[in-house]
Amino acid sequence: MTESYAIESHQHETRQFPPPPDFARQANVTPELAAQLYAEAEADFEAFWAKQAEALDWMTPWTHVLEWNPPHAKWFIGGKLNISANCLDRHLKTWRRTKAAIVWEGEPGDTRTLTYWELHREVCRFANVLKKFGVRAGDRVAIYMPMTPEIAIAMLACARIGATHSVVFGGFSAEALRDRINDAGCKLVVTADGCWRRGTEVRLKPAVDAALEQTPTVETCLVLRRTGSKVDMQPGRDHWWHEMLETVGDDCPPEALDAEHPLFILYTSGTTGKPKGILHTTGGYLTQVAATARWVLDLKDDDVYWCTADVGWVTGHSYVVYGPLANGATVMMYEGAPNHPEPDRFWRIVDRHGVTILYTAPTAIRAFIRWGEQWVLKHRLDSLRLLGTVGEPINPEAWMWYRQVVGKGRCPIVDTWWQTETGGMMIAPLPGATTTTPGTATRPLPGISADIRLKDGRSVDANEGGYLVLTRPWPAMLRTIWGDDERYRRQYWSEIEGVYFAGDGARRDEHGNYWIMGRVDDVINVSGHRLGTAEIESALVSHEAVAEAAVVGRPDELKGSAIVAFVTLQGGRAGDDALRAALREHVAKEIGALAKPDDIRFTDALPKTRSGKIMRRLLREIAASGNVVGDVTTLEDFSVLEKLRADED
C-alpha cells in the first residue's frame, strides 16, 4: 500500500426494489430460508459451512471443519473429494446425464452442445492425455485458451487428476504468459491456434511459441484446433489436442484429493509490478462457489445460465465452470465480442438459446447503453428471469437501465461483490429475499462477516466511509500467494490488525447495505479488468526512451477507469505522437492490449514529495480534472505542477 484515496460516497440512492413475489416464491432461497440461513450462520458459522459442504460428494469425510492459524485457514481437514467428480460424475447417476452442460456459440455463429455425459467423457479423455505426458497430482499446467468448451474441459481434466491449473487470460501477451508460467513452474501448456474476435482471428499459438523460448519447466504444449490457421508445431514438444485424444481411452477415475489440495493459481494485479499468484484449494472453494451459485444465481434445472465473463478471470472460474457445473446447470458460453456482427449479439444469443439468467459486468451494460436501447428492444428477451453484475461498482443509472430495458422491470438484479482472492461471492443479495437498491451489493452472504474499519481498527458508524474488511475466514478464501507467503501476510492481513483487508473503500448505510466505492490502492479497474499501476509503469520504463513513469486511473464513463500515464523521457528527449503510439504498443507487448494507456502525457519531471515519493493523488486529480485541490506543501518542485497544469490547456 502506498497511499490512500479519500473515501467518500457521492451516492444518495434510496429507491428500493423488494423481490417480486412470484420470484420469491420459487427462489432457491425464499425469505423464510434466508432468515434461517442467516440465523444458523450467526449461531455457529463453522457448523453452517459444514452443512453446505455436505451437499457435495466426499470420498472421505472431514474430521475438523476449520483450523484457523491466522492468517492461514484450512477447511474440512482430513476430507477427500474430487471437484470434477462433483461437477460431472455425480450428475451421471441422475437424469442430468443427458442434460446440456455446456451450450456454446462461436463468434461466426457455429454452435455446440455438450451433455453432462459427453462433457464427462471429454474430460476423462483429456485427463488421460495429461497423464500420458507425465502430469501428476501437484504439477502445474498453464491454460492459455479461447472461450471454447475445451477451456472448461482442460480445467476439469486437471482437477480430475489433481494437477493445479493456472489459466492465463488469452488477452495477455507472450511476456506476461512467460512470467506466469515461470512463476508457477508449469510443466505443460494447453493452448489453441487462435479464436475469433470481431470477425478476425486472434492468434494464440505464436504468443505461446514466444513465451516457451524462456520457460525451462515446460515439456509439452497441447494445441486445440479452433480456427484452422497454420501454426508452427515444434516436434517433440507440441501436439494437437484432437490427435492426442485418439491415443487414449475414456476411463479415468477421479483422484481422491485432500480438501486442501491446490486446485488453481490465478494471477491478479496488486500494488507492486509483479502479479500475485492467488492460490485456491479444493473443498472449501467448491463448497462456497456451489452454495453461492445456488443462493444468488438461483440456478434451477430448467435454466439456461449465461455468465459472460471470460474463463481467464476468476468470475469465469467460479461462475462459468465450477459453481454452475457443481449444481448441474446448463451453462451458456460465447466466444467473441458483444458487438459482432452488430451491437445486439448478446440479445440474439439470449433469444436464440433461451437464456434465463444473465450475469455480466457494469462496463458491458454501459457499452449497451451507449450503443442504444434499440438493439435490445429488437429482441423479446422474455426468457430472462434474473440479472447479475460483478467486477466493479455499478452506477445507479446503469442499474436502472439494466432493470428496465433488459429486465423489463420483472427481473431482480444481483450486484455481487467479491474478488479473485475471495474465490466466491461475499456480498450480494439473495434475489428471492433481499430488497435491492441501485448501486449497493447489499449485505454479506450468510456465513460471511464483513465490516468497515479505519486503519486503527475502529469500526465506523453508519454512512461513514472506511475500508472494507472481512473479519472471519471463509471457505473459498485464498490460501496464500504462490511462492510468497510473506507477501500474502503483508498484503492482506497486516493493513488492519487481525482482519482481511480487501483493498476497497466502502460505507454501510442505515439498512446495513454495503456501498463499495472502489479500490483504495494502486489497482485500477479498467472495463472490469484489474490492473496494477505499478505493472504498467514497469512496462513503460522498460522502453529505452522512458526515464520515469507514473500511471493513474481517471474516471471514465464507459470503462470505469481509463489509464493515464505521466512519462519523463531519457536525456531530455521530446515526446511526440509517434512515441506515444510506440509506448502504447510496447505496453501491449509487455502485458497485453488491455493495459494500453488511454492517455500518455510527457512531462519534464514528476511531482514528488520531499522524501521522493511520486504524488499520485495529485496526478490523479490532474488526470481527472486538470485542477489540483488540497495540500501541496510537501511538493519538491512546484514548477513541475505548473507545467502539468499548463499542459492541460
Would you tell me which residues interact with ligand WTA (CB under 6 A)? 268, 313-315, 390-393, 415-420, 441, 502-504, 516, 518-519, 525, 530
Instruction: Output the smallest distance, CB 90 to ligand WTA, in A.
Output: 26
What are the grid coordinates assigned to 144, written together? 492459455
Instruction: Output the smallest distance, CB 295 to ligand WTA, in A.
Output: 16
Instruction: Output the smallest distance, CB 420 to ligand WTA, in A.
Output: 3
Residue 456, annotated as binding a ligand: no
Instruction: Output the smallest distance, CB 198 to ligand WTA, in A.
Output: 23
Collapsing DSSP to helix, strand or coil, 449 comes out as coil
Residue 415, annotated as binding a ligand: yes
Instruction: Output the smallest distance, CB 190 to ligand WTA, in A.
Output: 22
Collapsing DSSP to helix, strand or coil, 103 comes out as strand
Beta bridge pairs of residue 306: 332, 358
Residue 30, annotated as binding a ligand: no
- d(C-alpha 16, C-alpha 163), whole Å: 46
Instruction: Output the smallest distance, CB 504 to ligand WTA, in A.
Output: 5
Cα distances from 311 to residues 204, 232, 368, 404, in angstroms, run 15, 26, 22, 28
For ligand WTA, the closer of residues 315 and 513 by Cβ is 315
Residue 504, annotated as binding a ligand: yes
Angle, vertex CA 623, rays to CA 620 and CA 627, nearest 5: 90
Q: Which DSSP state fits 213?
A: G
Residue 198, annotated as binding a ligand: yes
Residue 541, annotated as binding a ligand: yes
For ligand WTA, the closer of residues 475 and 607 by Cβ is 475
Instruction: Output the smallest distance, CB 445 to ligand WTA, in A.
Output: 13
Collapsing DSSP to helix, strand or coil, 72 comes out as strand
Instruction: Output the smallest distance, CB 102 to ligand WTA, in A.
Output: 21
For ligand WTA, the closer of residues 353 and 559 by Cβ is 559
Residue 75, annotated as binding a ligand: no
Omega within 30 of 0 (cis) for the link into 71? yes
Instruction: Output the smallest distance, CB 375 to ligand WTA, in A.
Output: 25
Residue 180, annotated as binding a ligand: no
For ligand WTA, the closer of residues 254 and 518 by Cβ is 518
For ligand WTA, the closer of residues 257 and 307 by Cβ is 307
Helix pair angle (577-590, 174-184), 10° resolution: 30
Question: For residue 610, with 0-12 CB atoms within 10 Å meaning exposed, 13-18 middle and 19 or more buried, which class applies?
Answer: exposed
Instruction: Output the smallest distance, CB 393 to ligand WTA, in A.
Output: 4
- d(C-alpha 479, C-alpha 485), whole Å: 9
Residue 200, annotated as binding a ligand: yes
SS3 of 361-426: the string is: CHHHHHHHHHHCCHHHHCCCCCCCCEEEEECCCCCHHHHHHHHHHHCCCCCCEEEEECCCCCCCCC
Q: Are 415 and 437 in contact (CB under 8 A)?
A: no
Instruction: Output the smallest distance, CB 14 to ligand WTA, in A.
Output: 18
For ligand WTA, the closer of residues 401 and 566 by Cβ is 401
Q: Which helix (H) or strand (E) holds 624?
A: helix 616-625
Q: Tell me the residue length of the chain.
A: 649
For ligand WTA, the closer of residues 509 and 636 by Cβ is 509
For ligand WTA, the closer of residues 149 and 423 by Cβ is 423
Q: Which residue lies nearest ligand WTA, judged by its C-beta?
A: 420
- d(C-alpha 483, C-alpha 140), whole Å: 13
Omega within 30 of 0 (cis) for the link into 341? yes
Instruction: Give the position of cell 455463429.
Output: 109
For ligand WTA, the closer of residues 194 and 503 by Cβ is 503
Alpha helices in 44-173 (DSSP H): 45-53, 83-84, 90-92, 116-132, 149-161
Residue 519, annotated as binding a ligand: yes
Tell me which residue of 569, 567, 646, 629 sits closest to 600, measured CA to CA: 567
For ligand WTA, the closer of residues 152 and 414 by Cβ is 414
Q: Which helix (H) or strand (E) holds 588?
A: helix 577-590
Instruction: Output the smallest distance, CB 59 to ligand WTA, in A.
Output: 30
Cα distances from 265 to residues 176, 181, 259, in angstroms, run 15, 11, 16
Question: For residue 452, with 0-12 CB atoms within 10 Å meaning exposed, 13-18 middle and 19 or more buried, which class applies?
Answer: buried
β-pairing verdict for 304-307 and 357-360: parallel
What are the grid coordinates assigned to 431, written together? 434475489
For ligand WTA, the closer of residues 148 and 363 by Cβ is 363
Cα distances from 191 to residues 1, 168, 210, 223, 531, in angstroms, run 35, 10, 13, 5, 23
Residue 523, annotated as binding a ligand: no
Instruction: Output the smallest distance, CB 488 to ligand WTA, in A.
Output: 15
Q: Residue 307 half-sphere exposure, CB side, CA atoms within 13 Å?
A: 30
Q: Are 428 and 441 in contact (CB under 8 A)?
A: yes
Q: Are 14 and 426 in contact (CB under 8 A)?
A: no
Tell me which residue of 75, 82, 225, 89 sits closest to 145, measured CA to CA: 225
Tell me which residue of 29, 585, 487 sits closest to 279, measured CA to CA: 487
- d(C-alpha 561, C-alpha 198), whole Å: 23
Residue 393, annotated as binding a ligand: yes
What are the grid coordinates assigned to 228, written together? 484452422
For ligand WTA, the closer of residues 150 and 392 by Cβ is 392
Instruction: Output the smallest distance, CB 507 to ligand WTA, in A.
Output: 12
Residue 416, annotated as binding a ligand: yes
For ligand WTA, the closer of residues 347 and 418 by Cβ is 418
Beta bridge pairs of residue 276: 268
For ligand WTA, the closer of residues 315 and 568 by Cβ is 315
Residue 392, annotated as binding a ligand: yes
Binding site for ATP: which residues?
A: 391-393, 415-420, 504, 519, 530
Binding site for Mg(2+): which residues?
A: 541, 543, 546
Binding site: which residues?
A: 197-200, 315, 339, 391-393, 415-420, 504, 519, 527, 530, 541, 543, 546
